[in-house]
Structure 1
Amino acid sequence: MNRIDGGFGWVIVCSAFMTLMLVDGVLFTLGILYIEFLDEFKEGKGKTAWITSLIPGTMLTVGLGFGGIFLSTLVCVGHHFEKRRSFAMGISLSGSGVGIFVFAPVVRILIEEYGWRGTLLIEAGFILNIIVCGAFFRPMQKQSGRTTEKSETKEEAIDLLRCDDNLIYIKENCIPSDKNCTIEENASQDDDVHASKQEIITQTKSTKNTTLSFFSRHFDFGLLTNPIFTIFVVSNCCTCLGFNAPYVYLPDRAEEKGMNKLDSAFLLSVIGISNTFGRILFGWIADRKGVNRLLLYGTSLVICGTVNVMNPLNDSKIYLMIYASVYGMFIGVFVSLNAVILVDLLGLERLNKALGLLMMFQGIATFIGPPLCGKSYVYNLY
């Protein structure tokens, strides 16, 4: 069963949940490893933060590794749901929060047992399990009643390849009378089409191998002329500059204020579990009639910015846990509604290219954000 808002779509949601649990469980617990990197390399906070920026930054900028996983997961879920798209996205992306909640104490224990190098090796083994999850991803099936006929036509069309090497003649009697064949109107207005086979092959290869052709197929840079999309990109870049900062610096800050390593790692678990709750809750709310998704999205970002500004006001354990809870819940809205709002603004048919282009700019901001925050700490601007 493969239909919109149900059927096999829920299997894809479960696979997406597990995929993002593994990916983000590894990504957003880098702050625990960050403490080990500081001890190992004896460098400043800003310079060491480049290590934790490389994985999320490059994955979103060039779409390698985790970037390809994240983009394909969101697009696949988005295409299988319409009325329940926000809710389905919320459930899928809540895997991220569960991953953070589970991985934070696990990573801390693994570091104690095997060191940070052994921990990275074990995490790589976890990531291999995404292959199984990805096997369930598939596009919406389109019904076609001409499968057998197409197969027969393909065999009969092979005769076209047996003509003279220097010239190809396509005549009316080359196509069986009971079969259909579509020829572009601008190809020829006559019954015969005369062309050099070598010329056709050369022109085809030349077109396919051009860089311009590649980018035009995968990136719709024309979207940047759309003022609504441009504003949305700028907003996302500003958010992503500080998006990873709590995940990277919160455990280190907690240890500086006297918390033990396990408790400081638990702060990431608090972000994770509240993030899970927030993504599902606000995903469900966003699907209700009369709810302004863009307003909900913007309000959540204002709340996240406010609690980040208030973070340095107190260093107690309770205060930091409250901060982690509030930030985790409302930053979940940003992640779960990104793709949904893109569909609202641009339409489902442009989701693939729009989301890919948006993630490219997000990656640039994510890449420079944590080191910039580290530098600001060094210069007492935080």
Structure 2
Amino acid sequence: MTKVNRARSTSPPDGGWGWMIVAGCFLVTICTRAVTRCISIFFVEFQTYFTQDYAQTAWIHSIVDCVTMLCGLGFALCYSPAIAMVGKYFSRRKALAYGIAMSGSGIGTFVLAPVVQLLIEQFSWRGALLILGGFVLNLCVCGALMRPITLKEAQTAPEQNHVCRTQKQDLKRASPCSALTKEWVQTCLCCSLQQEYSFFLMPDFIVLAVSVLFMAYGCSPLFVYLVPYALSVGVSHQQAAFLMSVLGVIDIVGNITFGWLTDRRCLKNYQYVCYLFAVALDGLCYLCLPMLQSLPLLVPFSCTFGYFDGAYVTLIPVVTAEIVGTTSLSSALGVVYFLHAVPYLVSPPIAGWLVDTTGSYTAAFLLCGFSMIFSSVLLGFARLVKKMKKTQLRFLARESDPKLQLWTNGSVAYSVASELDQKDGESVAIAMPGYNPT
């Protein structure tokens, strides 16, 4: 087999082959997320054929989403790596690149929803699934576009590098099976793992992880129950499929426009806030859904929910990169999407159980809406606390006696400076003339 040539670059190219990576990720999201969303159209067919209630039938969609996010099986072997590759090739225009790449989910839903309904009418649900399976084989083509790239990124700590270099020199004079060889391998492996998964120790990432659990719980049931809910209020099958198409095409608009807008200079520093805004508005849409019981009312709902769904999906990798950096982005994204698994597994059956128990969709939709709003409030509160802490540290650094602080406890002065960002660090240097950041 020929050896794979890795592209080498000191920084993300923000173009070039990166646009082919975006195209590949675009096709991947069509073949994975769009196809999964179309299971909502199969829901009524499954329920009728197998004569099961809402809660039992919902496990079909739940297991598909859960296995994708939880086990690294099936769609996950394509979805997560493709998203991570976009982050490797783009930095300055990352949000726009992700917006284009993730818009495949909306475009796929827009095109596939009426097509799947037509296929079910012509070939039954079994034939429709076979045809979709053949379409999904295009993932092999997408994989061929993913060319690896090596970036000059932050390395391990100098002390760890020194240990590895010293032991590597000694290793050349040792036998392959010696204790020194094993010790060097273990040390370097620990150094690599410590660097790759250090984000688990970041409080910001822990808060993001908890928030993702609530957000994922809320976002999943709509794609299972939108069509059944529309049918329950008197909308025809074709019109219900049209609602999914509308949601999909507006999802595209949200992906691209929100990605482009948040890349502008005026919003570049507020991408985190934009993400919170989009998640919260989707939650509010859920709270209004039980009052919408006709097609003219459900179409605006599909537009609004679809737009902000595309918006926050675009910003998930951007927010994750802001917290953990690009070095650990692949691993952190894997964890973030892994955390979607359990909510995706339990939320549609729980919503179905609520529908079976109460006889209406109101309780299910309200629970999903409050879950998404809580996700947004949690992240917003964490960011507010962090800013208050920075302000307090800045105040302490300016008000305290710099000479006394450095003389009596130099580690405290270093800790205060390290808590501040680069701009704050300049303020500390001005307030503390004797402070040397090196």
TM-score (norm 2): 0.71
- CA shift for structure 1 position 184: 3.9
1:98 match: 107
2:228 match: 252
Are the aligned partners of 1:101 and 1:269 in contact in 2 as well (CA < 8 Å)? Answer: yes
1:225 pairs with one of 195, 201, 206: 201
Amino acid aligned to 1:316: S
1:28 match: 37
1:289 pairs with one of 265, 272, 294: 265
TM-score (norm 1): 0.81
What is the rounded CA distance, in whole Å, between the counterparts of 2:115 and 2:262 in structure 1? Answer: 33
1:50 match: 59
Post-superposition Cα deviations, 1:67-119, rounded to whole Å, max 9, x if no partner, equal: 12111111111111111000000001111100000000011111111111111
Are the aligned partners of 1:25 and 1:102 in contact in 2 as well (CA < 8 Å)? Answer: no
Aligned residues: CA RMSD: 2.8
1:305 match: 283
> Counterpart of 2:327 in 1: which secondary structure?
helix
Give yes or no for the alignment of 1:126 onto 2:126: no
Please show how residues 126-145 of structure 1 align to structure 2 within 5 Å.
Answer: 126-140=135-149
1:61 match: 70
Structure 1 residues not aligned, in runs of 5+:
144-182
1:87 match: 96
* Runs (4+) off by over 4 Å: 187-190, 197-204, 215-219
Amino acid aligned to 2:59: W
Are the aligned partners of 1:218 and 1:353 in contact in 2 as well (CA < 8 Å)? Answer: no
What is the rounded CA distance, in whole Å, between the counterparts of 2:274 and 2:325 in structure 1? Answer: 19
- CA shift for structure 1 position 223: 2.9
> Counterpart of 2:15 in 1: which secondary structure?
coil
1:171 match: none
1:339 pairs with one of 317, 321, 326: 317
> Counterpart of 2:340 in 1: which secondary structure?
helix
- CA shift for structure 1 position 279: 0.7
The percentage of aligned residue pairs carrying the same residue is 31
Structure 2 residues not aligned, in runs of 5+:
1-6, 153-163, 365-438
Give yes or no for the alignment of 1:361 onto 2:339: yes
> Counterpart of 1:185 in 2: which secondary structure?
helix
- CA shift for structure 1 position 200: 7.1
Amino acid aligned to 2:278: S
- Between 1:16-25 and 1:322-331, the stretch displaced more is 16-25
Give yes or no for the alignment of 1:186 onto 2:167: yes
Are the aligned partners of 1:46 and 1:375 in contact in 2 as well (CA < 8 Å)? Answer: yes
> Counterpart of 1:335 in 2: which secondary structure?
helix
Post-superposition Cα deviations, 1:187-237, rounded to whole Å, max 9, x if no partner, equal: 5669x8343x55579959x97xxxx98x959972x5333211111111111
What is the rounded CA distance, in whole Å, between the counterparts of 2:324 and 2:200 in structure 1? Answer: 12
1:327 match: 305
1:39 match: 48
Are the aligned partners of 1:111 and 1:118 in contact in 2 as well (CA < 8 Å)? Answer: yes
Are the aligned partners of 1:242 and 1:370 in contact in 2 as well (CA < 8 Å)? Answer: no
- CA shift for structure 1 position 140: 2.1
> Counterpart of 1:4 in 2: which secondary structure?
coil
Amino acid aligned to 1:263: Q
Please show how residues 138-157 of structure 1 align to structure 2 within 5 Å.
Answer: 138-140=147-149
- CA shift for structure 1 position 270: 0.7
What is the rounded CA distance, in whole Å, between the counterparts of 1:218 and 1:123 in structure 2? Answer: 41
Amino acid aligned to 1:240: A
What is the rounded CA distance, in whole Å, between the counterparts of 2:181 and 2:92 in structure 1? Answer: 47
Amino acid aligned to 1:320: L
- CA shift for structure 1 position 331: 0.8
What is the rounded CA distance, in whole Å, between the counterparts of 2:140 and 2:342 in structure 1? Answer: 27
Amino acid aligned to 2:326: L
- Between 1:82-91 and 1:125-134, the stretch displaced more is 125-134
Please show how residues 170-209 of structure 1 align to structure 2 within 5 Å.
Answer: 184-186=165-167, 193-195=173-175, 197-198=176-177
> Counterpart of 1:288 in 2: which secondary structure?
coil
* Count of residues paired in the alignment: 336
1:155 match: none
Are the aligned partners of 1:219 and 1:356 in contact in 2 as well (CA < 8 Å)? Answer: no
Structure with bigger RCO (C-alpha 8 Å, 6+ apart) = 1
Are the aligned partners of 1:22 and 1:127 in contact in 2 as well (CA < 8 Å)? Answer: yes
Are the aligned partners of 2:243 and 2:299 in contact in 1 as well (CA < 8 Å)? Answer: yes
Amino acid aligned to 1:312: P
